Amino acid sequence: MRVRYAETDQMGVVYHANYLIWMEVGRVEYFRAAGIRYRDMEEHDGIRLAVVEANCRYIAPAHYDDEVIIRTSIEEANKRSVRLNYHMREAESDRKLAEGFTRHFFLSHDMRPAKLPEKYWPLFGVS
């Protein structure tokens, strides 16, 4: 993705909270690349992923118009929760910008803890 001007602060660098938004972009695109739309998980299966923990370590600043690569992977998952890792790098130089993780609980449509439907186990690495 390319850094938009609105994502920068007065110092001309990406405002720190935007990295959490980029993690969400990475998560949604990770699922999409695996052939699953997160929206379909919600609408068809009633499963939501509630963020229960988020962490981001800032390493180097990103600036307006930089192209940023977000690499997303599942670190661990079970039938009740998943932890995803994110690595954000500047595309041209491969400079590491930030890294972090999010932990999610699976919830039902009524926001109660739920088990991940079996059809999603392969995507999440659950056995």
- Tokens encoding 94: 């491969």
- Find the catalytic residue in 9, 45, 65, 66: 9
Alpha-carbon distance 86 to 89, whole Å? Answer: 10
Q: Is 9 a catalytic residue?
A: yes
**Active site (catalytic) residues:** 9
